[in-house]
Amino acid sequence: MDPSPPTDLSEEKTRLRKAFRVARREHVDALPQTMRALLFLRPPVPVVQKIPEAAIVGLYFPHAYEAPALSYARWFHERGHSVALPRFESREAAMAFHRWDNPLDEESLKAGPFGMPQPDSDTDSVVPDVLFMPLVAFTANGQRLGQGGGHYDRWLEAYPDTLTIGLAWDVQLAESLPHEAHDRPLAMVVTPTRLYETPALQKRDR
């Protein structure tokens, strides 16, 4: 008998999500609370250089163990960029992005259908030119393992020219990840110690 029967790709992704979530939690729990946001205070210069002045910047409202993205939101806002966050009309609806007019005001966000804070229904729907994306794991060549909703992949299928940038802790780096046809690669990944520039970025720059 085969001692390790092959599992299908989605089972493998589920297994990896579990393992990387544990690693991420242990890593972040070991960091003093007050230091965590400081490690993602502002985007690195090579990232900023790729972002046109008028670009609409999509970010995310981070949960406790994801790379904290809110300093970036304030940084882009202060420089005159429109900042947008994911919004879901319902659990079944496709992910959209809505403008977050004042990233200093977390009170303006309302709990969405998945419990995440999101811009309210009266905000403008926009299409970001640049997306900073949360992730569970990534590879040095820009593969991304997300939460398993497929929301970003579906959004990027509709807007394939978006500049995609992952934000991650160093422990989220995977040697390799299962690849499915719908997976959209990241152009760059920022961690507290490194900036990964991937083949998808080189392809854009050509």
Ligand X SMILES: Nc1ncnc2c1ncn2[C@@H]1O[C@H](COP(=O)(O)OP(=O)(O)OP(=O)(O)O)[C@@H](O)[C@H]1O
Ligand Y SMILES: Nc1nc2c(c(=O)[nH]1)N(C=O)[C@@H](CNc1ccc(C(=O)N[C@@H](CCC(=O)O)C(=O)O)cc1)CN2
* Least spacing, CB of residue 76 vs ligand X, in Å: 22
Token pair, residue 160, equals 């394939």
Q: Which is nearer to ligand Y, 40 or 61 (CB)?
A: 61
Task: Name the burial class of residue 40, with classes exposed (0-12), middle (13-18) and buried (19+) by CB atoms within 10 angstroms of its CB.
Answer: buried
CA distance 11 to 70: 32
| Closer residue to ligand Y (CB): 148 or 199 | 148
| Of 51, 36, 14, 24, residue with least CA distance to 192 | 36
What is the contact mask toward ligand Y in residues 31 to 60, using x (rule: CB under 6 A)? -----------------------------x
Tell me, residue by residue from 158 to 197, as one string, x for binding to ligand X by CB under 6 A and - for no binding: ----------------------x-xx--------------
Quote the Cα angle for 100-104-108, to 5°. Answer: 55
Pick the binder of ligand Y from 39, 70, 116, 173 (CB under 6 A).
Answer: 116
149 is a contact residue toward ligand X (CB under 6 A): yes
- CA atoms within a 13 Å half-sphere pointing along the CA-CB vector of 69: 22
Q: Residues annotated in the binding site for ATP, as ranges?
A: 13-17, 144-152
Q: Residues annotated in the binding site for substrate, as ranges?
A: 66
